[in-house]
Amino acid sequence: MRSFTTREQNIFIFCLILIFVYLGYQGIYKNLQNKSQVLDDEISSMERKIRKDRKTLAEAKAFEVPYEQLVNQFEQKVPNEQVMSNLISLIEEAAGDLDLRISDLKPQRVKRSDTYNRFSVSLTIDSNFAAIMEFLYVLQQDPHNFDVDEFRFDKGSRQDTDAIKSRLVLSKIFIP
């Protein structure tokens, strides 16, 4: 076998270099470029997600203050007996403001749940229908926020008056 001339050797080396450059380009550079593109896409996606999450956090902060106020309003900070006493005082005060006479007022057992305590009070009122409705309206508004669990209206024994005997069960929920 004859040996290559210097010119042939140079052409052969040049061809080998071209082949290695091509293989390096296809095998290494193109793969790195594809991986780089995939990573750029992931980064862009994460940046969009971060912007969206920041916007959500900013919106959540706007709800945080009213939510904390609600939690504070319904948080039970004192023992059950004191809460019940306070509720009875609130009911009597509201009735006094409207010149209603409560003939019977009985606290009921506290209904406990995992997440809240429900305090109920049973009461009987003799008055006209409009005054009773106003009383219920006042107790259901801020700052009282009572629930009306049960009510019953009976026409009074006296036929000549517009008095109605009503029995109510009012309740309020607190978070322990």
Amino acid at position 95, single letter: A
Q: Rounded to 5 degrees, what are φ and ψ at 149?
A: -85, -35
**What does the pLDDT read at residue 62?**
80
Tell whether the model's pLDDT for residue 66 goes beyond 90: no
Give 81-118 pLDDT, tens digit per residue: 999 999 999 999 999 999 888 889 999 999 998 889 99
Tell whether the model's pLDDT for residue 158 goes beyond 60: no
**What does the pLDDT read at residue 159?**
60
- Report d(CA 136, CA 114) in Å as an integer: 28
In terms of CATH, what superfamily is 80-174?
A: Ribosomal protein S6/Translation elongation factor EF1B (3.30.70.60)
Q: 136: pLDDT confidence band, cut at 50, 70 and 90? A: very high
Phi-psi label, residue 76: left if phi above 0, alpha if psi -120 to 50, beta otherwise: beta
Could you tell me the residue ranges of all domains in the chain? 1-74, 80-174
| Whole-structure pTM value | 0.61
- Report d(CA 71, CA 13) in Å as an integer: 81
128 neighbors 163 (Cβ within 8 angstroms): yes
150 neighbors 120 (Cβ within 8 angstroms): no
